[in-house]
């Protein structure tokens, strides 16, 4: 990889490469030279006597690089020559949707589909896939990650289960970054890279039976809270929605969920109520919903007590749901304490 310790000269956009438009004889040499050895500093060769095809995306941030590749069965290696050409020592997190055979520094491991593994960029390594695979490769400078690890823990060949909540957060965050078509500013790119490092460090030190560590850094907490809020949004209309149910789904304690919302100067209950009232307001002004009663709108938004719905709606908007539906103007709602996104 290029030296990610140095400030990027300009905001970077994602880089795409596909072999689909190339003649069959040119696909492998072009891919190996352009994407493999130049862009991601890896040597790539097919492992079966099949027609080679690959497509991939690389996004480089100031302090992290994200690569997603779909390829026919391949053997990917970090050779001593490629390592010597790197100006910065890197840490790689690799995962794929098929099993992988991974070897580094005399150790070997067969990685199950969906699991992830940490590799040191400064040591020779080999990864083999026996089937067409979709890879995700996340890398950060070693010097940026090691200070975040307790006791300088050795992370090489550390395997993270696909069931890990933190791995799920990391991959979701990476997909979010990759989906952005616009380039990142230098400041925003560094912020995103910091979140990636926080999540990578949390994966190495995370023990599922103990729950999330008390010292989780800001990037991890922010990613957890985003996932929780998205989950609330998906189940908002369920009257049984509760903090205990959300905590159980995310593999953390209800106390920890409360702490996450407290850090945003709000509570779980207030956040849920805010979203439900906003949704009810939208439904009440929706012409398609005019045939529904106020009670049915309240129920559709997760309220199982009509009196409570009327009371909280009026308290927030200064007007009854009936008057609001009939066209009366609501008092501008006070801004919610904390951030709702």
Per-residue pLDDT reduced to its tens digit, 40-54: 888 888 887 778 999
Of 265, 256, 268, 273, which Cα lies nearest the Cα of 313?
A: 273
Q: State the Cα–Cα distance between residues 223 and 196, nearest whole angstrom.
A: 10
For the segment 278-291, the average pLDDT, to the nearest whole number, is 81
- What sign does the CA torsion over 69, 74, 80, 85 have? negative
Range 211-341 classified under CATH 3.90.1310.10: no
For the segment 301-312, the average pLDDT, to the nearest whole number, is 92
pLDDT band at 89 (very low <50, low <70, confident <90, very high): confident
Of 107, 214, 194, which Cα lies nearest the Cα of 155?
A: 107
Q: State the Cα–Cα distance between residues 241 and 132, nearest whole angstrom.
A: 40
Supply the DSSP string of 308-332, one letter for each residue: HHHHHHHHHHSS-HHHHHTTPPPPP
Q: State the Cα–Cα distance between residues 313 and 341, nearest whole angstrom.
A: 21
CA atoms within 13 A on the CB side of 193: 25
- Common-topology check for domains 15-209 and 211-341: no
pLDDT band at 76 (very low <50, low <70, confident <90, very high): very high
What percent of the chain is modeled with pLDDT above 70?
Answer: 86
| pLDDT surpassing 70 at residue 172 | yes
Predicted TM-score of the model (pTM): 0.61
Instruction: Please state which CATH class domain 15-209 belongs to.
Output: mainly beta
- Per domain, the residue ranges of the chain are 15-209, 211-341
Mean pLDDT for the chain overall: 83
| pLDDT surpassing 50 at residue 262 | yes
pLDDT band at 126 (very low <50, low <70, confident <90, very high): very high
For the segment 202-224, the average pLDDT, to the nearest whole number, is 60
Per the model's pLDDT, the better-predicted residue between 306 and 145 turns out to be 306
Q: Which residues of 307-317 are buried (b: 16+ CB within 10 A; e: fewer)?
A: eebbebbbebb
């Amino acid at each position: 990889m290029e030296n990610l310790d140095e400030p990027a000269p300009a905001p970077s956009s994602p880089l795409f490469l596909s072999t689909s438009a190339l003649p069959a004889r040119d696909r492998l040499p072009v891919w190996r030279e352009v994407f493999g050895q130049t862009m991601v500093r890896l040597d790539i060769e097919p492992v079966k006597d099949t027609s080679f095809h690959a497509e991939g995306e690389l996004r480089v941030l100031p302090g992290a690089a994200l690569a997603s590749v779909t390829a026919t069965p391949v053997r990917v290696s970090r050779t001593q020559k490629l390592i010597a050409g790197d100006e910065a020592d890197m840490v790689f997190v690799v995962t794929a949707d098929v099993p992988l055979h991974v070897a580094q520094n005399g150790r070997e491991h067969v990685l199950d589909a969906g699991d992830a593994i940490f590799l040191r960029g400064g040591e020779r390594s080999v990864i083999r896939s026996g089937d067409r695979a979709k890879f995700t490769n996340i890398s950060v400078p070693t010097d940026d990650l090691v200070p975040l690890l307790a006791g300088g823990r050795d992370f090489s060949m550390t395997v993270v289960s696909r069931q890990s909540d933190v791995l799920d957060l990391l991959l979701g965050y990476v997909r979010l970054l990759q989906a952005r078509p616009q380039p990142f500013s230098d400041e925003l790119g560094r912020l995103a890279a910091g979140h990636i490092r926080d999540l990578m460090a949390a994966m190495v030190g995370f023990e599922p039976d103990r729950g999330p560590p008390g010292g989780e850094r800001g990037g991890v907490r922010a990613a957890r809270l985003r996932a929780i809020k998205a989950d609330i949004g998906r189940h908002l209309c369920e009257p049984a929605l509760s903090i205990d149910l959300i905590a159980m789904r995310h593999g953390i304690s209800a106390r920890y969920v409360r702490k996450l919302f407290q850090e945003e100067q709000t509570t779980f209950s207030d956040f849920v109520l805010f979203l439900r009232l906003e949704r009810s307001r939208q439904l009440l002004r929706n012409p398609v919903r005019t045939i529904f009663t106020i009670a049915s709108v309240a129920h559709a938004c997760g309220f199982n007590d009509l009196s409570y719905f009327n009371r909280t709606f009026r308290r927030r908007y200064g007007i009854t749901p009936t008057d609001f539906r009939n066209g009366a103007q609501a008092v501008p709602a006070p801004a919610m304490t904390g951030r709702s996104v």
